[in-house]
Structure 1
C-alpha cells in the first residue's frame, strides 16, 4: 500500500509517460492483464488509457486491472489509470 507522499512522488514521475495500454469496448481480459503485469515488471510505473467506447465505468475498469495485476493505484484521473508495482528484477524507482 502506498502512502500519500509516495503517490505524490509517483504522480510527478508519471507526467512524461505516455499510456501504453488501451481498454476498449471489449473491456479487461486475461491477455491484457498478463501484458500489463509484464510491463509493470519492466517499467514499474505505467499508464492505461480507457477509451470512450468502453461500456464499463472507469472505476470498475481500474478495480479489475488492480485486482488482476496486484498493482497499486497511484491515480485514476479522467480516462487514465496510473499504476505502480515494485519490480523484482528491474528496480528503477526509489520511493521516498
Structure 2
C-alpha cells in the first residue's frame, strides 16, 4: 500500500496524540509482537509502535518487516516510534484525502 504525501500528512496529524499501542523490548520483533500489531490495526487502523532502548532491531528494519507482513503502510518513523496504517476492509474509520 502506497500513500501520497498528503495522505501521510493527514495520518501523521491523526497519530500525533496517540499513545504507543505496542512496545518492542529486548526480544525484538517476535511473532507475538506481529500478532499484537495485527490485532491493533484491525481495531484502530492507525497505530503507534515504540521500540524500547533495549530492542536489538533497527527502526527501519522493524517498520519494513511489519508493513510487509501485515500489508500496512508506514505513515511515519520518528525517533524510536513507528506509525502504521491499514484500512479496515469492511468498516473504515479513517477517511484519507484524495491522493495527488
Question: Smaller-chain TM-score range?
Answer: over 0.9
| 2:10 alignment counterpart | 9
| 2:56 alignment counterpart | 55
| 2:71 alignment counterpart | 70
Structure 1: state its 5+ residue gaps. none
Aligned residues: 96
The CA distance in 1 between the partners of 2:91 and 2:42, in whole Å, is 7
TM-score normalised by the chain length of structure 1: 0.94
SS state at 2:91 partner: coil
Q: Check conservation: 1:46, 1:82, Cα contact below 8 A.
A: yes
Q: Check conservation: 1:41, 1:90, Cα contact below 8 A.
A: no
> How big is the shift at 1:64?
1.6
Q: Check conservation: 1:14, 1:82, Cα contact below 8 A.
A: yes
After TM superposition, the runs of 4+ consecutive aligned structure 1 residues lying more than 2 A away are none
Moved more, 14-23 or 59-68: 59-68
Structure 2: state its 5+ residue gaps. none
TM-score normalised by the chain length of structure 2: 0.90
> How big is the shift at 1:67?
1.6
